[in-house]
Amino acid sequence: MDFALSAEQQQIRDMVSEFVDEEVVPVADEIDHTDEFPRDLVDEMAELGLMGMPFPEEYGGAGLDYHSYAIGLEEISRGSGGLGTVVAAHTSLAGNMLYEFGDESQKETYLTPLAEGSDIGAFALSEAGAGSDVPAMETTAEKDGDEYVINGGKLWISNGSVAETVTVFAKTDPEAGNKGISSFVVRPEEDDGFIVENTEEKLGDKGCPTAELRFDDLRVPEDRLLGAEGDGFVQALKTLNGGRITIAARGVGIARAAFEEAREYATEREQFGQPIGEFQSIKHKLADMDTKIQAARMLMHNAADKKIRGENYIKDAAQAKLYASEISREVANEGIQIHGGYGYTKDFAAERFYRDAKLNEIYEGTSEVLRNTIGEQLLEG
């Protein structure tokens, strides 16, 4: 594995970093306060090719490798954790489902507008009683002639209330367990019976709407089925595995933001006649924070490297996501501590970083589930 960034990867990093510093950071607090979907920023990112980074140019994407995609998402998340989730759910989940499992017609029709950023994507898997336990889902899809009729509901769906394309998982054979789950392309504006019941008021991750969805006799043509009936469970696992690399990137980005804010504060805040950064305890905190960030980034790129090479990266992606998620919270927590009383107020962004970081340990595989995954991979040899 080459640790040096290529010229293209450096260019991507610099371009996204400049965009984030100029366009995202100045409005990040406003996004956090209003919790409104930042459509204008998404449109700008689409113009820069950031809504379809890993997809081939023939489908409207930027044709970037997974290292570049992770680098880009790290920078976006450094500016706004919510915006990082918008891009990750749109690209790694909804877009990747179409890229990996859609036929040529489905890719041309549905993936291309996602990759170009003219459409927003969402991935509807979780339910109130089926989070980590995917086979417990109750949403069904019954064949009726040349259509499927979908009934049920989904919970915790990032981008769910603003998406033009939603990949929905439902049971086509309720008696077959995980082999009875299938996936479909749903178009909320075209398909009657797609209902947004609610959007959640969350601790953090503001700007990315998290929706509760209901499907009431929602009919989709049979050509919206992704792959074959019964493929959905395996498709979901493969998609989430790749998505974990980008949640690691989100974690690294948020941790960087927390670290950089704390480092700046430590050079400016004075106590006992000197900047607090001169005290050994603060130096040690900053040293630990940066070390954790560097380690998390290496795990992220290691998983990306294995994905690019076509190797088994299940354990690597789980480790990257697990570690980056936990250190993002730890680094954000130390950022608050360095800010002291100010860190517990809305006057500084330190508390926002902490709220945004916590989500990393929950979605796309909780830390507990990831430890199970890593342990199983280790025991399988």
Specify the 3-state DSSP secondary structure of 186.
strand
Distance of CA 148 to the CA centre of its chain: 29
- For the chain, the straight-line distance linking the first and the last C-alpha, in angstroms and rounded, comes to 22
Nearest to 28 by CA among 357, 355, 352: 352
Interatomic CA distance for residues 167 and 121, integer angstroms? 8
Nearest to 81 by CA among 355, 334, 300: 355
Which residues share a beta bridge with 169? 183
Q: Which residue has the tokens 């190797």?
A: 311
Contact 305, 67 (CB under 8 A): yes
Cβ atoms within 10 A of the Cβ of 310, count? 7
- What is the largest distance, in Å, between two alpha-carbon atoms of the chain? 79
CA distances, 262 to each of 338, 347, 357 (Å): 6, 14, 15
Cβ atoms within 10 A of the Cβ of 105, count? 9
Catalytic status, residue 197:
no
Q: Which residue has the tokens 């877009």?
A: 95
Q: Per the residue annotation, which of 36, 142, 364, 376 is the catalytic one?
A: 364
Which are the catalytic amino acids?
A: 364
